Amino acid sequence: MKDARFPKFILFTNALVPLALLLWDVYHKRVGANPLEFVTRTTGMLTLVFLTITLAVTPARKITGLNWLVKFRRMLGLFAFFYGFLHFLTYIWFDRYFNLRSVPGDVASRPFIAIGMVAFFLMIPLAITSTSAMVKRLGGKRWSKLHQLVYVAGIAGALHYWLLVKSDTRLPLTFAFVLLLLLAHRLFVKFYPPGNPAPRATLLPRD
Amino acid sequence: MGVENKTEMQIKNAREIKSSEITDKQTYLNRRLFMRGAALVATAAATGLLYRKLNPPPAEKPKGDRLVTVANPTSDSGAREGFTTNEKLTSIEDITNYNNFYEFSTDKQSVAYQSKGFVTKPWTAAVEGLVNKPTIFGLEELLKFPLEERVYRLRCVEGWSMVIPWVGFPLARLLEKVEPTAQAKYVAFQTLLDPKRMPNQSTGVLDWPYVEGLRLDEAMHPLTILATGLYGETLPPQDGAPIRLVVPWKYGFKSIKSIVRISLVAAEPPTTWNIQAPNEYGFYSNVNPSVPHPRWSQAREHRIGESSFISRDTLLFNGYAEQVAHLYEGMDLRKYF
């Protein structure tokens, strides 16, 4: 794909559709009995969805050979950060009503909030260094190393979700499972690069 | 296209192409624009539908039958005994669209939809165990107990609360009929087990059937009722139709729904959430702001229907301390949480 401008525009629009519908629902008071919980849950879920899709780009590219997929990775990652920011804002704005002094006590009594905060703060340097100029400034190797933090953020995000549900852990565990699968693929490629002989070949009988 | 060209490569030089065959630039660009517009609209619509499917908006208001014979507690004596309160009622829309009823769904906003059409006729509730007159009550017989309206606060263990106008009768009236023996010390309750009618029972999110329990003196307390309706109408499925327990000074999950069995027993019976997480949910589960849940504080609550900007203090025994505190005299409420 030579010119990714239009596909990027499609992705950009689609990524904003959930936000548009959420705002529509809030405006028309169609967010149920507990609007705060609904908005918090929705933005949190969208953050995890976009994080997962972002992390799926590289494995998908390697498996399918469709190298142009990488052109969408930055935008996907930035949307994960964007929805994470909205999620964080919902917490600070509504749950705490900008009473920042109450945050430390609340974080202490609800450990899942601390873990969620860690996940969000880890995404900040990644968002800041997402521009091409920053990739150049850091150098590809160092940049890649830094951006491995996204796995920590993803797993912390899934853990944050798992810790807050009462008994139905199916969704948080699904996120965790998919994230681990994507991480496993990356480790596999690292230790057995496609150019080298496959590990199984050395185990073949010699005769 | 000429016949003589058939077997050759069909390359025409510019002169052979009639000007009428050339797509003019404007049309080409329009077509391209149209395709792009269509792609944009189609993907956005698909994304929107997917989002709606995964995050459905709440369902509409259900229709129940009007319950006629309801005695309203007078506000003076009613308030003194805790039978009513002058706090603002939670709307029927919120009460019927925000439910924890894991037999149908673990998503509070989906229970109304998932429980639509739940059949409650015929229905029986067996009252048995350590009693002189074990009885199987049909729903019609249960509805013959003199019904009263009780306006209670409901505090969920998750940190939200409602004010609900229940219709029902004291559990004590039912227990008196079956005459508990001297050995009976506790009351065990059980929800219907039927994965065909309660679809989420086919998952393992909880140990089915849902079971709950009370100490006999808690069960006989005048505040403890069996509810068959709310807002003067029969109970909608999502709120525990056709008959449920309401114990207003305990966290909501103690108030078991869609009851089919009530057993009088000698020892403390197992309870579902205690089985699920013994360190998080005790047998008593009295509302207590100073005993935090291991993962969150219980000091404050959000009243459903109020602005998202405010929360209120949670009260000991959910504000019913005057009526029930004596039941727990001398007990360490941190130990017996």
Provide residues of A within 8 Å CB-CB of chain B.
Answer: 6, 9-10, 13-14, 17-18, 21, 25, 30-38, 42, 45, 94, 97, 106, 109-112, 163-164, 166-168, 170
Q: How confident is the model at residue B9 (pLDDT cuts 50, 70, 90)?
A: low
**B298 Cβ contact list (under 8 Å, min separation 6):** B157, B159, B287, B288, B289, B290, B291, B292, B314
CA distance A122 to chain B (A): 23
- Delimit the domains of chain A by residue range: 5-190
Q: Is the pLDDT of residue A118 over 70?
A: yes
Average pLDDT over residues B245-254: 98
Per-residue model confidence (pLDDT) at position A205: 47
The H-assigned helical ranges of B182-310 are 216-220, 272-276
Q: Which residue among A6, A106, A112 places its CB closest to the CB of B295?
A: A112
Average pLDDT over residues B109-120: 91
pTM of the model as a whole: 0.80
Q: Is the pLDDT of residue B264 over 60?
A: yes
Q: Is the pLDDT of residue B216 over 60?
A: yes
Condensed to tens digits (0 to 9), the pLDDT of residues B149-191 reads 999 999 999 999 999 999 999 999 999 999 999 999 999 999 9
Per-residue model confidence (pLDDT) at position A164: 86
In whole angstroms, give the CA distance from residue A117 to residue A160: 9
Per-residue model confidence (pLDDT) at position B5: 47
Condensed to tens digits (0 to 9), the pLDDT of residues B292-322 reads 998 888 999 999 999 877 889 999 999 999 9
Residue of higher predicted confidence among B203 and A104: B203
Q: A36: which 2 tokens?
A: 């705060």
**Mean pLDDT over all residues of chain A?**
87
Does B292 touch chain A if contact means CB atoms closer than 8 Å?
A: yes
DSSP secondary structure letter of residue B132: S
What ipTM did this prediction achieve?
Answer: 0.83
- AA letter at B73: P
In whole angstroms, give the CA distance from residue A54 to residue A56: 5
**B260 Cβ contact list (under 8 Å, min separation 6):** B123, B124, B125, B126, B190, B191, B192, B193
Beta bridge partners of B26: none
Q: Looking at A193-197, B240-244, B268-272, which range is the least confident one? A: A193-197
Per-residue model confidence (pLDDT) at position A76: 96
CA distance A49 to chain B (A): 11
In whole angstroms, give the CA distance from residue B124 to residue B109: 28
| Beta carbons of B51 and A170 less than 8 Å apart | no
Residue B220 · residue B179 · CB < 8 Å: no
Per-residue model confidence (pLDDT) at position B19: 72
**CATH code for the domain defined by B67-328:** 3.90.420.10
Q: Looking at A104-113, B91-100, B207-216, B294-303, which range is the least confident one? A: A104-113
| Beta carbons of B57 and A30 less than 8 Å apart | yes
Of all residues in chain B, the percent with pLDDT exceeding 70 is 89
Per-residue model confidence (pLDDT) at position B73: 63
In whole angstroms, give the CA distance from residue B176 to residue A117: 54
- Delimit the domains of chain B by residue range: 67-328
DSSP A83-123: HHHHHHHHIIIIISTT-TTHHHHHHHH-HHHHHHHHHHHHH
Condensed to tens digits (0 to 9), the pLDDT of residues B56-75 reads 766 555 566 776 666 666 56
Q: Is the pLDDT of residue B288 over 80?
A: yes
Surface of B (141-180) touching A: CB under 8 A: 158, 160
In whole angstroms, give the CA distance from residue B262 to residue B220: 13
Per-residue model confidence (pLDDT) at position B297: 85
Q: How confident is the model at residue B1 (pLDDT cuts 50, 70, 90)?
A: very low
Q: A95: which 2 tokens?
A: 């749950």
Of all residues in chain B, the percent with pLDDT exceeding 90 is 73
User: Closest chain B residue to A110 measured between Cα atoms?
Assistant: B296
In whole angstroms, give the CA distance from residue A118 to residue A134: 23
Condensed to tens digits (0 to 9), the pLDDT of residues B36-51 reads 999 999 999 999 999 9
Measured between beta carbons, which residues in chain B are less than 8 angstroms from residue A163?
A: 295
Residue of higher predicted confidence among A31 and B91: B91
User: Closest chain B residue to A36 measured between Cα atoms?
Assistant: B308
Q: Is the pLDDT of residue A181 over 60?
A: yes
CA distance B94 to chain A (A): 5
Per-residue model confidence (pLDDT) at position A168: 83
Per-residue model confidence (pLDDT) at position B69: 61
